[in-house]
Amino acid sequence: MSENIVEIRNMTKQYGKQRALDDVSLRIKKGSIVGLIGPNGAGKSTLMKIMGGLAYPTNGELEMYGATDERGLNNARTRMSFMIEIPYAKENMTAKENLEKQRIQKGIPDKKRIDEVLKEVNLENTGKKKVKNFSLGMRQRLGLANALLGNPEFMVLDEPINGLDPSGIVEIRELFRSLNQDKDITLVISSHILSELSLLCTDYIFINHGKIKGIFTADELKAACSEYIQIDTDNNELAGALILNKCGINRLEVTKDSGIRIYEKLDEIRDISKILYDNGVIPLEIAKNEVSLEDYYMKMVNNEV
């Protein structure tokens, strides 16, 4: 059985009248790559800040590496690294100087580690260029270098591919994959670029308005995003009832705008259309389609799933 390195139980975070997290419960397994998905203001950063000790929960419990008390959580954080919101840095210092400051505060004895991580994120040639002259992509890379500095077992990364160009995204994706597979580093990644997450993650957490909307493994999400039969008829309400009662299909949805979607027995398209026809319902459109992760995400955050 996989070991849970983070467990959040019934967590609520209130900022004045606004509830940033609402009864959130989740687990993060060791060795997984978790995609944290939600729109702006969904509560992703708040969740990460609480894990990082930057914010306190109003209610609920946080357990990391088996610890729930402050001392234990701080010890757990020494095994983790975080990149939350924009990567912070000293603007008037170079990438190397910024990392040197972090190396000192983390108590990492080996100075060479700075060159290693700069190379890993492709920032080894920035020389004396100060961070204030960095592009957003370079800042992201510096943030990643900082997160890698202490050889963490678990990385929590907020929008890590923001500002990267397409080749940079591929490169960082490969880096994450290699960190996970070769070094057994657990990753929690939030991103708006869902297609990127779908290429990487083993688990997904959907969050909106501070509430967990769904937790899936990659296989489960793949199943949820898989193909469906799209049917539009002259009487969708009756058609829906017929499909439910006469075709033995339970996973379907009937909407006003897009007709009927059937998510099972996809090979029985001919039988379904015959049943509809025999019962006086005229199919106007029958097609096999696919739900993209983006579609599923939109449905999830809009409570349509």
Partner 1 sequence: MFNLIKSVNYVLKRDKGVLLSYLFIFIIPILLLLMFGLFQLPSLKDLTPGFYYGMDMLSGFAAFSFIGIVIISSKAIAGDESDKTINYDILSGHRRIAVFSSRVLAGLVWGAFFVLVIQMIPVFGMALINGWGAQVNAKDLIIRICLTIFPFIRLSAMTMMLASLTKKAGLGIVLGLSTDILTSIIQALAEEIFHYEIRYEVAFMNMVALLTPENSREYIIDGKPVQVFDTAVSPEMVIKTIGFSLGFTVLYLLIAYIVFKKRDRS
Give me the residues that bind partner 1 (CB under 8 A), please.
15, 49, 52-56, 70-71, 74-78, 80-82, 84, 88-93, 97-98, 100-102, 104-107, 146, 150
Q: What is the number of other CB atoms lying within 10 angstroms of the CB of residue 209?
A: 16
CB 160 within 8 A of CB 258: no
Instruction: Give which of 29, 18, 84, 23 is closest to 51, Cα–Cα.
Output: 84
Nearer to partner 1, 44 or 173 (CB): 44
Which residues, at least 6 apart from 252, have a Cβ–Cβ distance to it below 8 Å?
240, 243, 244, 260, 261, 262, 263, 264
- Which letter does DSSP use for residue 193 in this model? -
Nearer to partner 1, 107 or 166 (CB): 107
Which residues, at least 6 apart from 26, have a Cβ–Cβ distance to it below 8 Å?
6, 7, 8, 205, 212, 215
CB 173 within 8 A of CB 205: no
Nearer to partner 1, 141 or 173 (CB): 141
CA torsion angle 198 183 51 157 (round to 10): -50
Nearer to partner 1, 81 or 236 (CB): 81
Residue with tokens 């505060």: 105
> Minimum distance from CB of 30 to partner 1 (Å)?
18
Nearer to partner 1, 158 or 196 (CB): 158
Nearer to partner 1, 130 or 265 (CB): 130
> Minimum distance from CB of 7 to partner 1 (Å)?
18
Nearer to partner 1, 70 or 290 (CB): 70
> Minimum distance from CB of 78 to partner 1 (Å)?
4
> Minimum distance from CB of 117 to partner 1 (Å)?
14
Alpha-carbon gap, residue 185 to 179, rounded angstroms? 6
> Minimum distance from CB of 146 to partner 1 (Å)?
7
Alpha-carbon gap, residue 285 to 46, rounded angstroms? 45
- Residue 187 tokens read as 């990753």
Q: Which amino acid is at 281?
A: V
Which residues on adjacent β-strands are paired with residue 215?
205
> Minimum distance from CB of 210 to partner 1 (Å)?
15
> Minimum distance from CB of 64 to partner 1 (Å)?
10
